Amino acid sequence: MLIIHSDSIKVETQGFTDCHDITPDLEQSWKESRIREGLLTVMVSGSTAAVTTIENEPGAIADLKQALDRIAPLEIEYAHNIRWNDGNGFAHVRAALMKPALSIPVIGGRMSIGTWQQVVFLDFDNRPRSRSLVVQIIGM
């Protein structure tokens, strides 16, 4: 029988590429779901944040932040800023490049991520935020 388990994760952020390891939260959700085989999806509702995987260690996180600073720098002018005067055009570009959602296979009751791979939530906005991520696990 197909089971659908929905959950949410609340995260308080500081913005400016604030990074949070949400792997333990996702592990808790799939344990509560009792799904052994299926697919876990996590998504942030918002256009200035993203979900991805990385080895969650200070060097890799710093490298990712520096790469994003080169690709979508804070200090250049964005058409979004001109239209809305909110200064977070860089955050929208970074989020669009990184994507708001991630799906992970659940096999044998475990998320199929590597030993050094964690799921992280990145908030790119230019101010602190209270974020809510949607988690849905579908399977048997």
Query: What is the model's pLDDT at position 59?
Result: 98
Query: What is the model's pLDDT at position 80?
Result: 97
What's the chain's average pLDDT? 97
Query: What is the model's pLDDT at position 45?
Result: 94
Query: What is the model's pLDDT at position 137?
Result: 97
Query: What is the model's pLDDT at position 8?
Result: 98
Which numeric CATH code is attached to 3-139? 2.60.120.460
Query: What is the model's pLDDT at position 38?
Result: 97
Angle, helix 89-98 to helix 58-71, in steps of 10 degrees = 120
| Cα 139 to Cα 126: distance, rounded to the nearest angstrom | 38
CB 37 within 8 A of CB 105: no
DSSP-derived pairing of the beta strands 18-21 and 118-123 = antiparallel
Which of 90, 6, 87, 81 has its CA nearest to residue 50?
90
Determine the average pLDDT of the residues in 24-29.
97
Query: What is the model's pLDDT at position 129?
Result: 97
The strand order across the sheet containing 101-107 reads 3-13, 129-139, 38-44, 101-107, 110-111
Question: What residue ranges do the domains of the chain occupy?
Answer: 3-139
Q: What is the pLDDT of residues 11-21, one digit of tens each?
A: 999 999 999 99
Determine the average pLDDT of the residues in 85-114.
97
Phi/psi of residue 107, nearest 5 degrees: -130, 125
Query: What is the model's pLDDT at position 27?
Result: 96
- Residues 6+ positions from 92 with CB-CB distance below 8 Å: 47, 48, 78, 80, 124
Determine the average pLDDT of the residues in 43-61.
97
Q: What is the pLDDT of residues 76-90, one digit of tens each?
A: 999 999 999 999 999
pTM of the model: 0.95
| Cα 16 to Cα 131: distance, rounded to the nearest angstrom | 14
